[in-house]
Amino acid sequence: MSSLDPSHVSQKPVETIHPDNLPEESRHPDVVAKALHALVEHSGKHENVAASIHAPMHRLLEMPYVSKLVPGIEQLAAEYHVGNYVEMRGTGERFFESMPVYPRLGMHLLFYGGAQVKVLHNQTVETVLKDLSIRQGKIYDSPESVKSIPSFIETYHLQLDDLLEPDITKYGTFNEFFSRRLKPDARPVQNEDDPKNICSAADCRLTVYPTIDLAKEIWIKGANFSIPSLLNVSPDSELAQTFADASLVVFRLAPADYHRFHSPIDGVVGEVVDIPGQYYTVNPQAVNEPGFDVFTANKRSVLYMTHAGTGKPVAYVAIGAMLVGSIVWTNGANKGSTVKRGDELGHFAYGGSTIVALFPKGLMEFDEDLVKNSQKPIETLMKVGYSLGKTV
């Protein structure tokens, strides 16, 4: 996401998203669904991503095309900053991430999810979001999509120095670039010599909670969030009991992030279980909203691993999101294989997405700075290999 100077952000409030915030003529979910459809189709025809789905909310006054689709949304952008704060690890510096237009519109539709409201050719909100996610994946899998790579790099100020292939003309599709690989030494594992250390699984914005109850109190406000619902198992199952009151890590990958994900532990790869679901946005405001259960409603894929040092299980939940085409396991698909901290497990196709890692009660002690930030609450900007804490 585009970042803004904190001093500039203080000049107007940060929006708490609500359906009534859009002008009355644009509130009906059908207006928003049609706008999202048009923006997705626009992304396949025009090379500038910032003029379609990635239009930054703080720049909508410069983008009449978006305002024409959702009349009055530019006024919302003029009155509020739309997005959230993130803190840099180590420096304590905070910056504001401006939300692109597509998750903001996705948030609006979330208020109508599960309802009998019909939109865009008499479909449910859930069907529309699924169809748009599949369509966006096809657009960015096409050879013509390479034309959007330069504007994506410019929009998100991406650095190419760490890429295994820094020549962007070598990528055959936008999605090939989106799931780009890094040089082998680009993400060193902190405290690699300490077998008790656990590391970040992704370049991400991160929150950690020693208990599920604390996570629900502070961050994950969905009324139906629970370990059984996240793992899609019975409450009296062995897995539900194993991870009862587990420690939890949320790794949120924004569109700008490197989208391959890695092992946080030294361990053994186990079974992968795919769980069908929705394609809601996983933006922090959606996670923090009591009426939404995005983590347990969305499409997800669970990798069960065994921690080498303790023999304890770890659940690694890759969660799809709005406009995410697929979850792809690479080394994570090799059941029975051994992985080290920082080894690649898989990647997401296009879109922002999330990983939730569960550690059995008493296994983990998180680094103090991450705990403090999460209790404020504010996400911490992390990279693959950064320390999360230690096993105890």
263 is catalytic: no
Measure the CA–CA gap between 174 and 44, rounded to whole angstroms. 11
Whether the CB-CB separation of 330 and 344 falls below 8 Å is answered with: yes
Whether the CB-CB separation of 253 and 97 falls below 8 Å is answered with: no
161 is catalytic: no
Measure the CA–CA gap between 109 and 131, rounded to whole angstroms. 14
Measure the CA–CA gap between 89 and 43, rounded to whole angstroms. 34
Among residues 26, 301, 353, 374, the one annotated as catalytic is 353
How many Å from the N-terminal Cα to the C-terminal Cα in the chain?
36
Within 8 A by CB and 6+ apart from 315, the residues are 231, 239, 243, 246, 302, 303, 304, 305, 357, 358
Element (H, E) at 201: none
Whether the CB-CB separation of 142 and 44 falls below 8 Å is answered with: yes
Measure the CA–CA gap between 95 and 81, rounded to whole angstroms. 12
Whether the CB-CB separation of 17 and 107 falls below 8 Å is answered with: yes
By residue count, the chain amounts to 392
353 is catalytic: yes
Among residues 203, 257, 266, 343, the one annotated as catalytic is 203
* Residues paired with residue 275 on neighbouring β-strands, in sequence order: 300
Element (H, E) at 13: none
For 139, 340, 353, the CA distances from 85, given in Å and listed in that order, are: 31, 32, 18
The conformation of residue 127, written as its DSSP 8-state character, comes to H
For 111, 188, 323, the CA distances from 79, given in Å and listed in that order, are: 21, 42, 27
Write down the H helix ranges in the chain: 6-9, 29-45, 64-69, 73-79, 101-110, 125-141, 149-155, 174-178, 212-218, 227-231, 238-242, 284-287, 294-297, 368-375
Residue positions annotated with a catalytic role: 203, 262, 353
